[in-house]
Amino acid sequence: MLDKLSLTGLNFLDLGLINYLEALKIQKEAVLRVIGGLTADTLIFCEHYDVITVGRSGNLSNILLTQEELDKKNIKVIFTDRGGDVTYHGKGQLIVYPIFDLRKSIKDVHLFLRRLEFAVINLLTRYRIFAHLKSGKTGVWVKEKKIASIGVAFSHWVSYHGLSLNVAPDLSQFCLINPCGLKGVKMTSLKELLGGPIDMEGLKNRFKDEIVKIFYADPWKMKGEFKDEKVSFAGIR
């Protein structure tokens, strides 16, 4: 799979529904190839079987079930090296892993996060969903509900891990945790907001377009927009 990736442009890799640890292995192989100049930036899409992941700043108290209860539900807890706290992944949630070399553009982690967030915001606008950021909180929100979560890591300024967008997951599963360590937060999805089924393949193609626009059309375009994390929406698109 990875040996077919190109040295030019941006590679797209759709893993479909895949075990979390298997996808992480593919990510880390891609990271090594990008670091070594063996392949171009790679954008990975997938969905995961039910899993709870714990980031570097994760607190186990944000998992609200006992290990025995999780075992009965066949939900594994995996500790990982991404930023952030506790997250849930499951079928119907689009997972996006950008393996991007910041050495070739701008070495700015906050800018990278904001770009990912605005790629989601621009995507949702195509569905007439008007999303926003919350000051001091990473991710994307629709009114008071969260629709996308982000947690990343870097190796030699090459990114991995990424974001999860709730397209049509079982939202009741988020009751197993305090999502991203936020007590009382409610999650939403495109399916809940639009009231019907979502064409996942069409959504992926639109998301690719937004990623390319924000990260590759003009890599310096958004630099001046982010003096701190209280960002405005002006001039992003």
Give the residue carrying structure tokens 């967030």.
117
Look at the chain and count its residues: 237
Catalytic member of 44, 75, 123, 180: 180
8 A C-beta contact, residue 75 and residue 51:
yes
- SS3 state at 8: coil
Do 214 and 114 contact (CB within 8 A), yes or no?
no
Tell me if residue 175 is catalytic: no
Nearest by Cα to 92 from 10, 215, 174, 24: 174
Cα dihedral 24, 142, 204, 99 sign? negative
Q: Which residues are catalytic?
A: 180
